[in-house]
């Protein structure tokens, strides 16, 4: 029995040995196979091991910033946060310090007001069957300030995911130029330009994240003695525009005021440097805030809206006639109407002004005068050549997306003449700006542009750079000057339609426009305010530094107002503030009065003792004003050799500390003498004589200090002084002041 049992034991052992031997050889064969091929189940084992132990961290790149000409950011990436709520109870290991939302009702009640959501809506999100939830658009792209407010509530389970968003610090500001960029579902986590320069320059602005890769343990820590791979982020290129933030702000503010007061259907305005073609400001209404994207009109009307310009077109007809030598401003013609075959051209008042000169015709904006110039003086074919010389037949090529082109309607005889005064033919505002640079720039026509340069922020290398470009010379320098001289009379003449566009201290040259609006039913719209009112002007006339076009479509006017009211509100405000901001001095000619014609030649008092200079000036009947506490004169205005009139103020700066005089009651001309001598930054409000000044009299002043002065007409100034005298009397007598 024992022998049999022993025998079975040996058989079992042999069988087990055989099984284990077989398993060993199978495993050994598999091991050899893996060693030789490095592949298991179709996957490369080395790659899987690398994937398991290789750690990768993203290095965020920044989308390029859009700056104005002075380096002020107009569009930039800024930190943003997404609010999240952890609902998984497993995330809490210590009940006394919960890491998930414990009380949805209480959390919803406190969180909802900050996210601008209903309490019930937040509560519904917090009761979802999920480990972690977000709050939709209300919880995304929140600011750092809001994040801090939410954190202060110390709500268990409420956390944040850090991100970046595109931010436009000025809100509604050159919005159709800049456009906007955002992250969409299609773009994943990438910011993509959707409109404007953000879209057209997306390839330059676009960023590419970098990363650092290394071998790490299961906890994510880098293993010792291992190399790391670093791919640096590729930040987007920075874009510098020709837009000036200050001038653009002047424009936006004035358009807001007109929009509020007159409720027009459209406003279009452009400010340019006629010497270079640089666009300093451009705006339209309706506009939008790129942060909110409340867009009504996706087109930039300044470059995309062709329409009949009206009488601003007469500038170029006049230039053509002068350039061809066929314009005689003193020649007389019969205004009122002009027959063209079966048609008749009429002046805007229907009856004209009798027999007048062509110069007066320009001032009064006579359609008949310009029809005669083309038909009888210039010739229709030659006029068409000038329309082409001024490039009204093609796009300007401005570096903005969406530019349209007008249409020269020039088939029938009547169309050839109506084009002379801006009817029938359509052009865009930017085409008019480009053509007008030839008038303001000695005959040379400059291509408009808004992109100054594009710069790589890491290497500082300039990737793209634009320079002023002459695109033609349709007229001579002499012609340009003659056109300016005549256009100045449109603003200054008693008969001029441009009288509302006078700016005290500066000579303005320009032309008004009242354009008819085509009706969908045919013909033109009728009604007191169914027009596009416009003005194309430049200043200072003697050497224009700024060129500006403003158009206001269908404003709600009272019966006592003309279309010039809303247009001049924009033009005058922006032009005057911009000229002062650019330190362009008022012209002595523009503020000269009849009494100033008879003058005294001024001597130099530089180096002369103060008492001696003051005494001598008083003897000559002049009014010396001493600035400073030094003993000798260091500088003076007016300068030696200039003619002055009896009683005129002569500003004397001494070699001591400069102090501010009391300038209340002074004219703008006298104030500007102080500004120039002390190198101040002026800001003038109103017209007439100074009634307030921000720098107290007797206060020490330094170079580039801001001098803010409120001006008023003589009668208002006198009232103000009387009120101030009463106030001072009440103060002195101890009576209460109202």
Model confidence at 191: pLDDT above 50: yes
Rounded average pLDDT over 688-705: 84
Per-residue pLDDT, 616: 87
Note whether 257 and 109 are same-domain residues: no
* CATH at residue 496: 3.40.710.10
Please state the φ and ψ torsions of residue 292, each to the nearest 5 degrees. Answer: -100, -25
202 contacts: CB under 8 Å, gap ≥ 6: 181, 192, 193
Note whether 451 and 515 are same-domain residues: yes
Per-residue pLDDT, 45: 43
Rounded average pLDDT over 424-445: 97
* Confidence label for 486 from pLDDT (cuts 50, 70 and 90): very high
Per-residue pLDDT, 210: 66
Instruction: Choose the final residue of a domain: 206, 239, 272.
Output: 206
227 contacts: CB under 8 Å, gap ≥ 6: 214
Instruction: Choose the final residue of a domain: 534, 553, 581.
Output: 581
Note whether 513 and 430 are same-domain residues: yes
Q: What's the domain range around 665?
A: 595-733
Note whether 39 and 147 are same-domain residues: no
DSSP code at position 296: S
Q: Which of 121-125, 266-270, 399-403, 599-603 comes out lowest in average pLDDT?
A: 599-603
Model confidence at 651: pLDDT above 50: yes
Rounded Cα distance, 82 and 89, in Å: 21
Note whether 523 and 635 are same-domain residues: no
* CATH at residue 153: 3.90.1310.10
Note whether 552 and 603 are same-domain residues: no
Per-residue pLDDT, 192: 93
Instruction: Choose the final residue of a domain: 529, 556, 581.
Output: 581
Tell me: the pLDDT tens digits for 33-76?
Answer: 555 555 455 444 444 444 444 555 566 788 999 999 999 999 99
Note whether 439 and 557 are same-domain residues: yes
By 3-state DSSP, what share of the chain in percent is helix, strand and coil, each rounded to 5?
A: 35, 25, 40
User: Which residue of the set 80, 311, 534, 667 is catalytic?
Assistant: 311
286 contacts: CB under 8 Å, gap ≥ 6: 266, 296, 297
Note whether 49 and 67 are same-domain residues: no
Contact indicator for 483, 469 with CB cutoff of 8 Å:
no
Per-residue pLDDT, 664: 86
Interhelix angle 477-492/429-440, rounded to 10 degrees, is: 110
Q: What is the mean pLDDT of the chain?
A: 86
Q: Is 311 among the residues known to form the active site?
A: yes
Model confidence at 594: pLDDT above 70: no
Tell me: the pLDDT tens digits for 630-640?
Answer: 889 988 988 88
Contact indicator for 660, 626 with CB cutoff of 8 Å:
no
Rounded Cα distance, 48 and 587, in Å: 80
Note whether 517 and 425 are same-domain residues: yes
Rounded average pLDDT over 197-210: 90
* Confidence label for 2 from pLDDT (cuts 50, 70 and 90): low
Tell me: the pLDDT tens digits for 351-388?
Answer: 999 999 999 999 999 999 999 999 999 999 999 999 99
Per-residue pLDDT, 47: 43
Note whether 609 and 464 are same-domain residues: no
| Top mean-pLDDT range of 129-138, 217-226, 580-589 | 129-138
DSSP code at position 737: P
Specify the number of domains making up the chain: 4
- Tell me the two tokens of residue 235: 């930040």
Per-residue pLDDT, 477: 97
Place of tokens 């998930």: 100
Strand, coil or helix: 219: coil
- Which bin fits 578, alpha (ψ -120 to 50), beta or left (φ > 0)? alpha
* Confidence label for 31 from pLDDT (cuts 50, 70 and 90): low
Place of tokens 């101040």: 680
Name the more confident of 698 and 735.
698
Residue 728 lies in a domain: yes
- Tell me the two tokens of residue 260: 């509020």
Residue 227 lies in a domain: no
- Which bin fits 152, alpha (ψ -120 to 50), beta or left (φ > 0)? alpha
Note whether 43 and 135 are same-domain residues: no
Q: Which of 5-9, 409-413, 550-554, 618-622 comes out lowest in average pLDDT?
A: 5-9
DSSP code at position 522: S
**Which residue(s) pair with 181 in the sheet?**
193
């Amino acid at each position: 029995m024992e022998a049999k049992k022993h025998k079975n034991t040996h058989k079992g052992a042999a069988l087990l040995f055989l099984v284990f031997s077989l398993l060993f050889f199978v495993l050994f064969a598999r091991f050899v196979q893996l060693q030789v091929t490095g592949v298991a189940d179709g996957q490369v084992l080395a790659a899987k091991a690398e994937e398991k132990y290789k750690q990768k961290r993203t290095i965020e790149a920044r989308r390029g910033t859009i700056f104005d000409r002075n380096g002020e950011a107009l569009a930039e990436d800024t930190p943003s946060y997404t609010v999240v709520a952890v609902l998984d109870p497993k995330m809490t290991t210590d009940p006394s310090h919960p890491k998930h939302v414990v009380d949805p009702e209480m959390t919803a009640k406190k969180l909802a007001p900050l996210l601008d959501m209903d309490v019930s809506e937040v509560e519904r999100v917090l009761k979802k069957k999920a480990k972690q939830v977000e709050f939709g658009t209300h919880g995304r792209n929140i600011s750092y300030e809001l994040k801090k407010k939410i954190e202060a509530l110390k709500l268990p389970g409420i956390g944040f995911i850090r991100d970046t968003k595109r931010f436009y610090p000025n809100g509604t500001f050159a919005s159709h130029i800049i456009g906007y960029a955002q992250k969409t579902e299609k773009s994943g986590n990438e910011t993509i330009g959707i409109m404007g320069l953000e879209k057209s320059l997306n390839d330059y602005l676009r960023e590419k994240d970098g990363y650092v890769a290394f071998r790490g343990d299961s906890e994510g820590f880098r293993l010792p003695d291992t190399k790391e791979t670093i791919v640096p982020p590729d930040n987007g290129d920075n874009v510098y525009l020709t837009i000036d933030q200050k001038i653009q702000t002047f424009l936006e503010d004035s358009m807001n005021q007109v929009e509020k007061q007159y409720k027009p259907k459209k406003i279009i305005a452009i400010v340019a440097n006629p010497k270079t073609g640089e666009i300093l400001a451009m705006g339209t209404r309706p506009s939008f805030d790129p942060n909110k994207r409340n867009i009504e009109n996706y087109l930039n009307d300044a470059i995309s809206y062709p329409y009949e310009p009206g009488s601003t077109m007469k500038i170029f007809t006049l230039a053509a006639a002068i350039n061809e030598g066929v314009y005689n401003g003193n020649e007389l013609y019969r205004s009122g109407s002009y027959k063209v075959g079966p048609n008749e051209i009429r002046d805007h008042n229907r009856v004209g002004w009798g027999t007048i000169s062509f110069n007066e015709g320009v001032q009064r904006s006579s359609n008949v005068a310009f029809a005669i110039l083309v038909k009888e003086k210039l010739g229709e074919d030659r006029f068409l050549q000038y329309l082409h010389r001024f490039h009204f037949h093609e796009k300007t090529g401005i570096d903005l997306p969406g530019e349209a082109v007008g249409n020269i309607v020039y088939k029938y005889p009547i169309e050839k003449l109506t084009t002379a005064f801006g009817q029938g033919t359509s052009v865009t505002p930017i085409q008019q700006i480009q053509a007008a640079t030839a008038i303001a720039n000695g005959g040379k026509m400059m291509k408009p542009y808004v992109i100054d340069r594009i710069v790589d922020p890491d290497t500082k290398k300039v990737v793209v750079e634009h320079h002023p470009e002459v695109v033609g010379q349709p007229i001579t320098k002499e012609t340009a000057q003659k056109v300016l001289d005549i256009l100045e009379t449109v603003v200054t003449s008693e008969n001029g339609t441009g009288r509302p566009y006078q700016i005290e201290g500066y000579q303005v040259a320009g032309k008004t426009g009242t354009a008819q609006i085509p009706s969908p039913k045919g013909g033109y719209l009728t009604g007191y305010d169914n027009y596009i009112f416009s003005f194309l002007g430049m200043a200072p006339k003697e050497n224009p530094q700024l060129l500006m076009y403003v158009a206001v479509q269908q404003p709600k006017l009272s019966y006592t107002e003309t279309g010039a009211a809303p247009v001049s509100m924009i033009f005058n405000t922006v032009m005057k503030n911009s000229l002062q901001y650019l330190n362009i001095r008022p012209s002595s000619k523009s503020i000269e009065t009849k009494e100033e014609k008879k003058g005294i030649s001024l001597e130099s008092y530089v180096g002369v003792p103060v008492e001696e200079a003051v005494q001598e000036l008083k003897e000559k009947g002049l009014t010396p004003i001493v600035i400073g506490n030094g003993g000798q004169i260091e500088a003076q205005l007016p300068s030696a050799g200039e003619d002055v009139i009896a009683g005129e103020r002569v500003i004397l700066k001494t070699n001591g500390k400069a102090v501010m005089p009391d300038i209340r009651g002074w004219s703008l001309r006298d104030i500007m003498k102080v500004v120039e001598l002390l190198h101040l930054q002026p800001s003038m409000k109103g017209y007439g004589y100074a009634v307030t000044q921000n720098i107290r009299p007797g206060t020490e002043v330094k170079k580039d200090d801001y001098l803010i002065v409120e001006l008023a007409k003589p009668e208002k100034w006198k009232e103000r002084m009387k009120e101030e005298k009463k106030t001072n009397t009440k103060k002195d007598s101890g009576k209460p002041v109202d």
